């Protein structure tokens, strides 16, 4: 998997949900002209090509430049005073930016919002986390023209090939293409997945933590986990990981904890060829004290913690006591910036998807979000955080695979 040393983010719809304040400023400007207000959904559809275009799209057809100029002046005066009344970072964005800073990744923000407002918003919400902010300025073409991207690359001292462009719109995807950058389209913003794909998004990102895999070096992760006493191995491909684990388990009794990651790896069948294997998913008795216990984790924090949620708790119990060795096998999709984000990932990504897979009638299975419910069918019965390896296990190791595996 390719890794980058720099990131260029869009602002509105990517880092910040600005719809409420943008809509309020537009409606103040329209009211000054005696015109009816627009909705936030209409604002969502019209934003992305600069404030003047947002105003023009909100005025009656044929209103003319004079009306646009008057509205723009009122908009800016109002927006300057109400820049972040309702604006908020998207969930997971502050933790992501902190993690990128700690990893030494250079971060720039490039917006079609006018430059002073862009800089004020970044300074307010993300102080010290962004190296460079460039908004709309006189004499500089707006996105998707690549001029501002090339300016940002020069200021950062980075090459296009080492930089990932991250945005929520077709304009952003076109900007990346025009500047020769790889692109990631985020799905929580102002445009649909279909728009992102149509405009050439290299990858789609459903949660900010999913971006970590494109920036974090395995050596950094090794330091985080070995510093807490865990063993750590990294393999670029699933096949390499399976070959390694076959060697680890050769001649030993191996037990499995319920895991879509292990299922996807085909590890059970691979190990049965040369040893004794127990997995209740395949009709075996649940194994609580094998020589080697294999499982996965719901999240791995870049700060070195391992997070799991369990229902029957046999998996959690066996990962902490009774076995000579425990191996947590995880894809890079399990990475989270810190412990708080790792717990959030376990509760709001892994647990709902497993509830859906198991056909549970829980609130999270319906809407994909944790409600800390009291449903008798809830699968979240234990939340286990390993801050360091358990004293009840001789060897605990993280096996990270450079592919997306499990939930």
Which residue is listed with tokens 């991207």? 149
Question: What contacts 284, CB < 8 A, 6 or more positions away?
Answer: 277, 278
Decide: residue 370, CB within 10 A, 0-12 exposed, 13-18 middle, 19+ buried.
buried
3-class DSSP string for the chain? CCCCCEEEECCECCCEECHHHHHHHHHHHHHHCCCCCCCHHHHHHHCCCCHHHHHHHHCCCCCHHHHHHHHHHHHHHHHHHCCCCCCEECCCHHHHHHHHHHCCCEEEEEEEEEHHHHHHHHHHHCCCCCCEEEEECCCCCCCCCCHHHHHHHHHHCCCHHHEEEEECCHHHHHHHHHHCCEEEEECCCCCCHHHHHHCCCCEEECCHHHHHHHCCCHHHHHHHHHCCCCEEEEECCHHHHHHHHHHHHCCCCEEECCCHHHHHHCHHHHHHCCCCEECHHHCCCCCCCCCEEEECCCEEECCCCEEEEECCCHHHHHCCECCCEEEEEEEHHHEECCHHHHHHHHHHHHHHHHHHHCCCCCHHHHHCCCCCCCCCCCCCCEEEEECCCCCECCEEEEEEECCCCCC
Residue 287 · residue 315 · CB < 8 Å: no
- Active-site hit among 10, 12, 17, 172: 10
182 is catalytic: no
Q: 107 phi and psi, to 5 degrees?
A: -125, 130
Integer distance in angstroms from the first to the last C-alpha of the chain?
19
Residue numbers annotated as active site = 10
């Amino acid at each position: 998997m390719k890794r980058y040393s720099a990131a260029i983010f869009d602002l509105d719809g990517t880092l910040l949900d600005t719809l409420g304040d943008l809509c309020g400023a537009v409606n103040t400007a329209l009211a000054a002209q005696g015109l009816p207000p627009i909705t936030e959904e209409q604002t969502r559809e019209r934003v992305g090509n600069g404030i003047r275009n947002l105003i023009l799209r909100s005025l009656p057809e044929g209103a003319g430049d004079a009306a646009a100029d008057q509205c723009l002046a009122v908009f800016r005066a109002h927006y300057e005073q109400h820049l972040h009344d309702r604006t908020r970072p998207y969930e997971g964005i502050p933790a992501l930016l902190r993690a990128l800073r700690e990893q030494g990744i250079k971060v720039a923000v490039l917006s079609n919002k006018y430059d002073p407002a862009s800089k004020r918003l970044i300074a307010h919400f993300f102080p010290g986390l962004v190296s460079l902010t460039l908004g709309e300025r006189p004499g500089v073409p707006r996105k998707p023209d690549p001029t501002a991207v090339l300016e940002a690359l020069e200021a950062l001292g980075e090459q296009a090939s080492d930089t990932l462009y991250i945005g929520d719109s077709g304009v952003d995807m076109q900007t990346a293409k025009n500047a020769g950058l790889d692109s990631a389209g985020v799905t929580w913003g102002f445009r649909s997945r279909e728009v992102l794909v149509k405009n050439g998004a290299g990858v789609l990102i459903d949660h900010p933590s999913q971006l970590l895999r494109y920036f974090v070096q395995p050596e950094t992760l090794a330091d985080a986990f070995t510093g807490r006493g865990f063993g750590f191995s990294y393999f670029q491909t699933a096949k390499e990981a399976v070959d390694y684990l076959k060697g680890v388990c050769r001649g030993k009794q191996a037990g499995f904890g319920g895991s879509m990651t292990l299922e996807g790896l085909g590890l059970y069948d691979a190990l049965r060829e040369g040893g004794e294997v127990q997995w209740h998913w395949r009709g075996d008795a649940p194994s609580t004290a094998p020589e080697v216990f294999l499982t996965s984790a719901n999240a791995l924090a870049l700060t070195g913690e391992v997070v799991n949620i369990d229902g029957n708790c046999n998996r959690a119990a066996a990962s902490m006591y009774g076995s000579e060795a425990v191996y947590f096998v995880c894809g890079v999709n399990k990475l989270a910036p810190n412990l708080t984000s790792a717990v959030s990932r376990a509760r709001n990504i892994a647990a709902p998807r497993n509830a859906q897979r198991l056909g549970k009638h829980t609130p999270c299975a319906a809407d994909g979000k944790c409600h800390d419910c009291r449903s008798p069918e809830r699968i979240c019965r234990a939340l286990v955080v390993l801050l360091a390896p358990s004293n009840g296990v001789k060897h605990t190791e993280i096996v990270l695979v450079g592919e997306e595996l499990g939930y």
